[in-house]
Amino acid sequence: MKKLKEILFKVNIDSVYGNTDVDIANITFDSRNVEKNTLFVAIKGHEIDGHDYIGESIHNGASVIICEKLPENFKQKKSVYICVNCSKSALSIIASNFYDNPSLKIDLIGVTGTNGKTTITSLLYKLFDELEVRSGLISTINIKYDDFIETSKNTTPDPITINHHLSEMINKKIKVCFIEVSSHGIFQKRVDGLDFKGMIFTNLTHDHLDYHKSFKDYRDTKKVVFDTLNKNSFALINIDDKNAKYMVQNTLAKVYSYSLKSKSNFSSRIIEQQLNGMLLSIENSEIWTKLIGKFNASNLLAIYSVGKLYNIDKIKLLTAISKLESVVGRLQSFLSTNKVTVIIDYAHTPDAIENVISTINKIKSSSQNLITVIGCGGDRDKDKRSIMGKICSDLSSRVIFTSDNPRSEDPASIIDDMIGGVSKFNTDKVTVEIERSKAINEAKESSEEGDIVLIAGKGHEDYQELKNNKRIQFDDFKIAKQIFNK
- The three state secondary structure string of 250-263 is CCCCEEEEEECCCC
**Proportion of the chain above pLDDT 90, given as a percent:** 82
Main-chain phi, psi angles of 31, to 5 degrees: -60, -15
- Position 18 scores a pLDDT of 72
Q: Mention every residue, 6+ apart, whose C-beta is less than 8 A from residue 447.
A: 338, 340, 369, 371, 453
pLDDT reading at 96 higher than 70: yes
Whole-number Å distance between alpha carbons of 304 and 212: 32
Asked if CATH classification 3.40.1190.10 holds for the domain at 102-322, the reply, yes or no, is: yes
Which of 278, 364, 262 shows the shortest CA–CA distance to 324? 278
pLDDT reading at 242 higher than 90: yes
- Position 218 scores a pLDDT of 87
Distance between start and end Cα atoms, the chain: 59
Size of the chain in residues: 486
- Position 22 scores a pLDDT of 53
- Position 17 scores a pLDDT of 81
pLDDT reading at 286 higher than 70: yes
Task: Give per-residue pLDDT as tens, 56-78.
Answer: 888 888 888 999 998 887 776 67
Mean pLDDT confidence for 315-331:
95
- Position 465 scores a pLDDT of 96
Whole-number Å distance between alpha carbons of 347 and 356: 7
Give the gyration radius of the chain's Cα atoms: 24
Work out the number of other CB atoms within 10 angstroms of the CB of residue 73.
9
List, in sequence order, every residue forming a beta bridge with 268; answer none if it has no partner. 282
- Residue 373, by phi and psi: left (phi above 0), alpha (psi -120 to 50) or beta? beta
Task: Give per-residue pLDDT as tens, 103-114.
Answer: 999 999 999 999
State the architecture of 2-97 in CATH terms.
Answer: 3-Layer(aba) Sandwich (3.40)
What is the torsional sign of CA 262, 265, 270, 275? negative
Confidence of residue 392 (pLDDT cuts 50, 70, 90): very high
Confidence of residue 206 (pLDDT cuts 50, 70, 90): low
Q: Mention every residue, 6+ apart, whose C-beta is less than 8 A from residue 82.
A: 8, 11, 13, 15, 16, 24, 64, 65, 66, 67
Mean pLDDT confidence for 172-188:
95
Domain with CATH 3.90.190.20 in the chain: 332-484
Across the chain, what does the average pLDDT equal?
Answer: 93
Domain with CATH 3.40.1190.10 in the chain: 102-322
Q: Mention every residue, 6+ apart, whose C-beta is less than 8 A from residue 247.
A: 201, 222, 223, 226, 235, 237
Question: In sequence order, what E strands does 152-284 have?
Answer: 176-180, 198-201, 234-238, 254-259, 266-274, 277-282
Taking the CA atoms of residue 202, residue 213, residue 180 and residue 464 in that order, the dihedral angle to the nearest 10 degrees is -110
240-271 in b/e form (b: 16+ CB < 10 A) is bbebbebbbeebebebbbbbbeeebbbbbebe
- Position 29 scores a pLDDT of 64
Task: Give per-residue pLDDT as tens, 159-169.
Answer: 999 999 999 99
Work out the number of other CB atoms within 10 angstroms of the CB of residue 2.
16
Whole-number Å distance between alpha carbons of 167 and 146: 13
Work out the number of other CB atoms within 10 angstroms of the CB of residue 16.
13
Whole-number Å distance between alpha carbons of 385 and 408: 16
Which of 329, 340, 476 shows the shortest CA–CA distance to 403? 476
pLDDT reading at 214 higher than 90: no
Task: Give per-residue pLDDT as tens, 422-475.
Answer: 999 999 999 999 999 999 999 999 999 999 999 999 999 999 999 998 999 999
Whole-number Å distance between alpha carbons of 300 and 282: 9
Which of 17-31, 39-53, 388-402 is the least confident region?
17-31
HSE value, Cβ hemisphere, 13 Å, CA-based, for 317: 19
- Position 272 scores a pLDDT of 96
Q: Mention every residue, 6+ apart, whose C-beta is less than 8 A from residue 425.
A: none
pLDDT reading at 13 higher than 60: yes
Whole-number Å distance between alpha carbons of 342 and 57: 51
* Amino acid (one-letter) located at 153: K
Domain with CATH 3.40.1390.10 in the chain: 2-97
Whole-number Å distance between alpha carbons of 400 and 193: 45
Asked if CATH classification 3.20.20.70 holds for the domain at 332-484, the reply, yes or no, is: no
Mean pLDDT confidence for 147-165:
94
444-480 in b/e form (b: 16+ CB < 10 A) is beebeeebbbbbbbbbbbbebbbeeeeeeebbbbebb
Spatial contact of 279 and 265, defined as CB atoms under 8 Å apart: no
- Position 27 scores a pLDDT of 64
* Amino acid (one-letter) located at 474: F
- Position 78 scores a pLDDT of 74
Work out the number of other CB atoms within 10 angstroms of the CB of residue 158.
18
